[in-house]
A and B are shown apart, each in its own frame.
Chain A
Amino acid sequence: MMNCLEFRRLKLADPRRLPEDARSHANDCLACLAFARSVDESEAALERTLAVAVPEGLADRILLRQGGERRVSRRAFALAATVLLAAAAGGIITRRDKDSSQQARLAIEHVLDEPESLTTYYNADPVRLAEIVRDLGGNIREPIGRVRYIKRCPVEQGSGWHIVFETPQGLATLILVADRSIAAAATANLGRWTGRVEPIRGGYYALVTDSAESNSAVSRLVKQRIEWQT
């Protein structure tokens, strides 16, 4: 036989899933019936509160990004196949150079595709940066500069971390890509922008700045302050 205390405990633990004997108890006990109604009212208020507005187009953005990654993977495969054919005719060194410089150029294009990354502060957490670097087998010995922006982004061949930080040479973008390899370091230019990719043990990173001079300086800074397993 259920008592009032047990009924109230069950009602508070799961207001919508009362067992049959608890419902019977409420029908016979006016005090517990009133208690149940009161709990139902506060539960309705709770559910209204929790139902915060969902950003417009959320599902589309998720699908766009995830779909982008899937399509990019297929494009990347097609690109690799094309380059391999070229390598058969032109030699493996050419293939490797093209592959790396292509990633450097894509990194610049990615930065230009996300101009807001250079104007907004987002997830600007140096501890988070340290975690991301550590996940790729790196260690930040000294801060590389004030972090302004950290976001996971679709990049060629998968996804990567898009990080913007301040340096004496201006803003610099570091793109960290795990589980993908490049054959060698390479540099590419697009307009005034320079991108440089460097292989690391867990993948590769790309450094994008708005001039070749600043890229050289920031590249040195990154190498001095982040220790990578190669």
Chain B
Amino acid sequence: MGSEQQFEQMVRAFSADLYRFAYWLCRDRFVAEDLLQETFARAWKAWRELREPASVKAWLIAILRNEHFRRFSRKQLSIVDGEPDESEIPSVPSSAGHLEMEQLVGLLPLAYREPLLLQALGGFSCGEIASLLGTTEGAVMTRLTRARQELRSELQAAGKRKSA
């Protein structure tokens, strides 16, 4: 199979998942599509350098993250590649209690949101996420636990208010 055919297969296989990941990173449909175009443009340029076809999805995610980081690093200082001090990661604002899941996910600090997206959308394990984010598996588990705790507590509070 030619490399162009393989590239087309890759685009068709992963564009939906990557689009959703990009959307939840930037919360803008136009920017998400732009990020995807740029991701695949860079992927095509580096196509011959891809050594492990089995990990192509993680490779694409890494390209997309880099592009997102490059574009928004000045605006979103909460983006972190390394391991942040957990005490420095802000909680979901307490006023978010009335919000629905979509808004709650958007309000999660990126340090929590990103591993959550990689797991729930990308199907990556904690170890794989740790490799992608350049941190430890333990740190990823902590962030995922806290992300889900934040979401659950807000949703439960909202449920109680509705039933009261």
User: What residues of chain A have their CB less than 8 Å away from a CB belonging to chain B?
Assistant: 9, 12-15, 17, 38-39, 42-43, 45-47, 49-52, 54-55, 58-59, 61-63, 65-67, 69-70, 122-123, 127-128, 131, 151-152, 159
Contact = CB atoms under 8 A, between A and B. Distances in A.
Sorting the interface of chain B by its residue count into under 10, 10 to 19, 20 to 34 or 35 or more gives 35 or more
Contacts of A59: 11-12, 15-16
A49 B104 CA distance: 10
A189 to B, nearest CB: 31
A58 to B, nearest CB: 5
B37 interface: yes
Given A50-B117, A58-B16, A152 B41 contact: yes
Given A49-B105, A70-B44, 13 more contacts: A9-B145, A39-B148, A45-B101, A46-B120, A55-B29, A58-B36, A59-B16, A62-B11, A65-B37, A66-B41, A67-B4, A152-B37, A152-B38
A65 B40 CA distance: 10
A12 to B, nearest CB: 4
A5 to B, nearest CB: 11
A220 to B, nearest CB: 30
B6 interface: no
Contacts of A47: 120
A66 B15 contact: no
Contacts of A52: 20, 23-24
Interface string B31-43: 1011011101100
- Nearest 3 A/B pairs, CB to CB: A13-B141, A12-B145, A49-B101
Interface of B: 4, 7-8, 11-12, 15-16, 19-20, 23-24, 29-31, 33-34, 36-38, 40-41, 44, 70-71, 74-75, 101-102, 105, 116-117, 119-121, 125-126, 140-142, 144-145, 148-149, 151-152, 155
A131 B38 CA distance: 15
Contact of B40 (A13, A54, A62, A127): A62
A82 B40 CA distance: 30
A123 B4 CA distance: 30
A133 B105 CA distance: 34
B145 A13 contact: yes
B41 A69 contact: yes
B30 A14 contact: no
A46 B41 contact: no
29 contacts: A12-B144, A12-B145, A12-B149, A13-B141, A13-B142, A13-B144, A14-B119, A15-B148, A42-B148, A42-B151, A50-B105, A50-B117, A50-B120, A51-B20, A52-B23, A52-B24, A54-B19, A54-B20, A55-B29, A59-B15, A59-B16, A66-B7, A66-B37, A66-B40, A70-B4, A123-B30, A131-B71, A151-B34, A152-B38
B31, B37, B38 — most chain A CB neighbours (10 Å): B37
A131 B74 CA distance: 11
Contact of B125 (A17, A66, A127): A17
Contacts of B121: 50
Contacts of B8: 63
Contacts of A123: 30-31, 34
B125 A62 contact: no
Contacts of B19: 54-55, 58
A9 B101 contact: no
Given A14-B141, A159-B41, A128 B33 contact: no
Contacts of B141: 9, 13-14
A56 to B, nearest CB: 11
